Amino acid sequence: MGKKRVIKQTEEELLKEGDKIETKVRKEVKEPSKKIQEGRVYISSTYNNTLISLTDREGRILGWVSAGSIGFKGTKKATPFAASKVAEAIAQLAQKFGIAKVAVIVKGIGSGRDSAIRSLATRGLDIISVKDKTPVPHNGCRSPKVRRV
């Protein structure tokens, strides 16, 4: 076996990658037919990805964005930076629909939960409430029999 080489990206390549992500965040969305004042944002944060959905008060989905759809790949999808970029894209979508007030429902245990909520707040959305709907096992499955050797 030979030497292992670590390929490092230059600053130009990193800037190009950042520009690709920015253009995907700003992609055009169809103009909505009616204006909605309030909505809900569902944040699903796992160890592998961050998904954010925008719904109206009744729960009808208006749009969704994930870290993978923006352009992040591999382990970068689970980072707080990726979650904040996803939240920025959802905030732009909410502004297109005219949504100003949002109730946030968070589900999952990934690292992007807090940064997504902070990013929604800094983008101008008025957060009414934050609810945690992470499933918690009460007792779990029955444990297997004791192993006899």
Note the residue count of the chain. Answer: 149
Please determine, for residue 7, whether its predicted confidence score (pLDDT) is greater than 90: no
Q: Is residue 140 part of a domain?
A: no
What's 117's domain CATH number? Answer: 3.30.420.80
3-state DSSP call for residue 9?
coil
State the residue range of the domain holding 101. 39-132
Is there a domain that residue 149 lies in?
no
| β-strand pairing of 126-132 with 101-107 | parallel
Q: Are 91 and 124 in contact (CB under 8 A)?
A: yes
Q: Does 20 reside within a domain?
A: no
pLDDT for 29 equals 46
* Alpha-carbon span 35 to 47, nearest angstrom: 35
74 lies in some domain = yes
Instruction: Using a pLDDT cut of 70, give the percent of the chain over it.
Output: 85
pTM of the model: 0.74
Report if residue 123 sits inside a domain.
yes
- Work out how many domains the chain is built from and give that number: 1
Residue 43 lies in a domain: yes
**Using one digit for the tens of pLDDT, what is the confidence trace for 40-64?**
999 999 999 999 999 999 989 999 9
- Tell me what pLDDT residue 119 has: 95
